[in-house]
Amino acid sequence: MVVARHRPTKAIIDTTAITANIKNERARLPQDTALFAVVKANGYGHGAVETARAAANGGATGFCVATIDEGIELREAGIVAPILLLGVVAVSDTPLLATYDFSFPVASQEWLQEAESYLANVALTRPLKVHIKVDTGMGRIGFLDAQAVAEAASWVEAHEAFEWEGVFTHFSTADQADTAYWQQQHLFFQEVLTALPHLPKYIHTGNSATALWHEQAVGNMIRYGIAMYGLNPSGHALAAPFELKPALSLVSALIQVKLLEKGSGIGYGETYITPQQEWIGTVPIGYADGWLRKMQGFSVLVEGEYCEIVGRVCMDQLMIRLPREMPVGTKVTLIGENQGQQITMQDVADQLDTIHYEVACTLSSRVPREYKS
């Protein structure tokens, strides 16, 4: 999708906020604990390369991505720090892992056996760096019992094409007040570690939520994701131990303002009819930009005042009810601060009955990302 630079709609990313969020977390960690900044999904919609650089300025020692292509983007941008893939990769792509010096998860013995056969006729530029993934209760990817993990570790160490660099798991409820299931996963992972012949370079369980609220159990590396962008992983459930500074603002401007008489229909389906004479403003952003139709009834900020979205959100535009006539070109804030008032990404998530992760990732590539530092 082409980036729409010739209209006033844009996402503004404050890279100093990302740097500050990383620094604040680093200050809580033991000095020898590694922090890998998670910049998958285009940096959770914030821009992978720019956020990676901001995170490095804050003290990030490595990066996590979901796919090989996301890792290549970082390497081609000149980033030489360690990069850990978080998703399962095809055996046929292992030469790329070596070429670009990626670490990656292994989640089954079957994968290792397939790799052994495939690599018998492949010359690698360096050993493949393996992080053995343990499924302690997420139900996603990973080995399911301690003995299988120990056998996989021994297998990896017995094959010169591989280097056993890490072992890890992912907690599914670290962002919840009820810690019973978290404790169950944690104890299972401890059993896995006990069964290993020795420990690898990296032991990591800490996503953002674990790092914030279970810091005693993160191992010697954390995978710091949503919190680096200034968003609370738990939504409303738990208070963060320090201030998280949101990095993203979403702004646009009024492109037309008109006075409509009582009884005028607004938008597709005539879902809003003016109950009286009203000033209506049009804003150039819509569901093709990730501002979804369910945002009807939500409010945006204009000159520090909350203005309701009336009528259905269109593909490229939406309409808002203004308190008075306002000039074309007046700034409209959809996420962020405007003259002392604020709309958070959590507010948007609440309107959509979802999580702010999804809001950030839904902002389409048509919306330009503008960086300030």
Q: Is residue 373 part of a domain?
A: no
> Of 10, 40, 129, 133, which one is the catalytic site residue?
40
In this structure, are strands 331-338 and 248-253 parallel, antiparallel, or unpaired?
Answer: antiparallel
What is the CATH number for 311?
2.40.37.10
**107, 116 Cβ separation under 8 angstroms:** no
> Of 258, 262, 268, 372, which one is the catalytic site residue?
268
Q: Is residue 261 part of a domain?
A: yes
Same domain, 146 and 265: no
- Is 294 annotated as catalytic? no
| Contacts with 275 (C-beta within 8 Å, 6 or more apart), sequence order | 262
Same domain, 121 and 44: yes
Tell me the H-state helices in the chain. 15-26, 40-44, 48-58, 68-76, 94-99, 109-119, 146-157, 180-195, 208-213, 345-352, 356-362
Same domain, 176 and 303: no
Tell me the H-state helices in 285-363. 345-352, 356-362
- What is the average pLDDT value for the chain, to the nearest integer? 96
Q: Is residue 235 part of a domain?
A: no
pLDDT-above-70 percentage for the chain: 100
Same domain, 32 and 142: yes
Q: Which long-range contacts (CB under 8 A, 24 or more apart) does 234-237 make?
A: 234/175, 234/176, 234/209, 235/175, 235/346, 235/349, 235/355, 235/356, 236/346, 237/175, 237/176, 237/177
Q: Is residue 141 part of a domain?
A: yes
Same domain, 272 and 165: no
Number of domains in the chain: 2
pLDDT tens string 210-248: 999 998 888 999 999 999 999 999 999 999 999 999 999
Same domain, 119 and 261: no
Same domain, 279 and 324: yes
Q: Is residue 360 part of a domain?
A: no
pLDDT tens string 173-189: 999 999 999 999 999 99
Q: Largest Cα–Cα distance of the chain, in whole Å?
A: 79
- Is 268 annotated as catalytic? yes
Same domain, 255 and 209: no
Q: Does the pLDDT at position 251 exceed 90?
A: yes
Q: Is residue 355 part of a domain?
A: no
pLDDT tens string 327-342: 999 999 999 999 999 9
Q: How far apart are CA 323 and CA 272, in angstroms?
A: 17
Same domain, 185 and 82: yes
pLDDT at 216: 84
| Contacts with 247 (C-beta within 8 Å, 6 or more apart), sequence order | 13, 14, 15, 17, 18, 21, 46, 51, 229, 230
Same domain, 148 and 297: no
Q: Is residue 123 part of a domain?
A: yes
Residue 315 annotated as part of some ligand binding site: yes
Q: Which one, of 321, 285, 327, lies nearest residue 306 by Cα?
A: 321
pTM over 0.75: yes
Same domain, 218 and 264: no
Q: Which amino acid is at 71?
A: G
Q: Band of the pLDDT at 282, cuts 50, 70, 90?
A: very high
Across the range 157-177, mean pLDDT stands at: 95
Same domain, 25 and 144: yes
Q: Is residue 68 part of a domain?
A: yes
Q: Which one, of 263, 250, 232, lies nearest residue 342 by Cα?
A: 250
- Residue 84 lies in domain: 15-229
Residue 140 annotated as part of some ligand binding site: yes
| Contacts with 123 (C-beta within 8 Å, 6 or more apart), sequence order | none
Is 315 buried (19+), middle (13-18) or exposed (0-12) by CB count in 10 A?
Answer: exposed
As a whole number of Å, the CA-based R_g of the chain is 24
Q: How far apart are CA 264 and CA 172, in angstroms?
A: 49
